[in-house]
Amino acid sequence: MSANLKYLSLGILVFQTTSLVLTMRYSRTFKEEGPRYLSSTAVVVAEILKIMACIVLVYKDSQCSLRALNRILRDEILNKPMETIKLAIPSGIYTLQNNLLYVALSNLDAATYQVTYQLKILTTALFSVSMLGKKLGVYQWLSLVILMAGVAFVQWPSDTQELDSKALSAGSQFVGLMAVLTACFSSGFAGVYFEKILKETKQSVWIRNIQLGFFGSVFGLMGVYVYDGELVSQNGFFQGYNRLTWAVVALQCLLPGSHPCNSSYFPIRLRPQACRQPHQSIGGAARRARREPAGLLRAQGGVAALHTVQMVENMNVQLKSLSM
């Protein structure tokens, strides 16, 4: 694979990530006539779109055969209820995380949110050490401490705090900060838990995403009914939706969790032939990723703990180069 393609893919990934943050922030603060769209419904729509996208990918991997698609979905999802139920825990956490990110961006500016949300690297590393037995070196821990210090400096009061407070008068910065910190911890735990599940099974990533999307839609609809049921009954499920809203939903579908989302686990394979086997081992994909670090990207970090360690190792290289 040419280096240009790798850098192009990385550039597209960065562009999509930043676009999601900026458009989501703008959509939550833009003032227009009529009711604002409900973030809880946007989360549900994004999950449904993810399911549809993954079904299309499984259909393509099945040589575009509806019979083969039906067989795979039945054998891998319906006939394995225990394997499917395992995804309920990370799916519920991801759904909570997606809703929290809407709350955070409604109360924080995009730059503060983006920098603070990088604490998910620290939380993922901590959970990978405690749950998966990963070992980090001294330079890796030092890199994480520097990351934490950088986030603390971003939150440090400045002379422009009064102006920023006026600009963010529509919401509370404290609420936004708590929301993004909770999302960081939930992202770290769910990512490592999901990696543990992937290592124990041989189901394809697309099947796992369908399972995640199903539970995410169920939990999301429950949230809509509990928190926004009255508003939905008055103005409809798609109240306040416009082109900008659909752009946010589409970006969230491409980058779950985009994401936010991580929100969900949605890898981008730079080698198309690696996705042609719908039942390939995820452990094998992870081993190949260790040999080819640029060969596997995830919307929010690759196989969670593996790519967190890789990101920390990249920071270590930069630190060593500066110390020379």
Residues in the chain: 324
Q: Give 296's strand partners.
A: 269
302 dihedral zone (left: phi>0; alpha: psi -120 to 50; beta): left
What integer best gives the mean pLDDT of the chain? 74
Confidence class for position 47, pLDDT limits 50, 70, 90: very high
Q: Given this model, what pLDDT does residue 155 score?
A: 61
The three-class DSSP label of residue 268 is strand
Q: Which residue has the higher pLDDT, 108 or 289?
A: 108
pLDDT digits (tens, 9 = 90+) for 13-29: 788 778 888 888 888 88
H-helix segments, 30-109: 39-61, 66-73, 81-85, 88-107
pLDDT digits (tens, 9 = 90+) for 143-179: 888 877 877 776 665 555 454 555 554 457 788 888 9
pLDDT at 220 over 90: yes
Q: How far apart are CA 258 and CA 265, in angstroms?
A: 9
53-80 pLDDT, tens digit per residue, is 999 999 998 888 899 999 999 988 888 8
Q: Which two tokens stand for residue 291?
A: 């040999």
| Average pLDDT for 43-49 | 93
Cα 48 to Cα 214: distance, rounded to the nearest angstrom: 8
What φ, ψ does residue 84 adopt, rounded to 5°? -70, -40
**In this structure, are residues 213 and 50 in contact, taking their beta carbons and an 8 Å threshold?**
yes
Say if residue 207's pLDDT is above 60.
yes
294 has a pLDDT exceeding 60: no
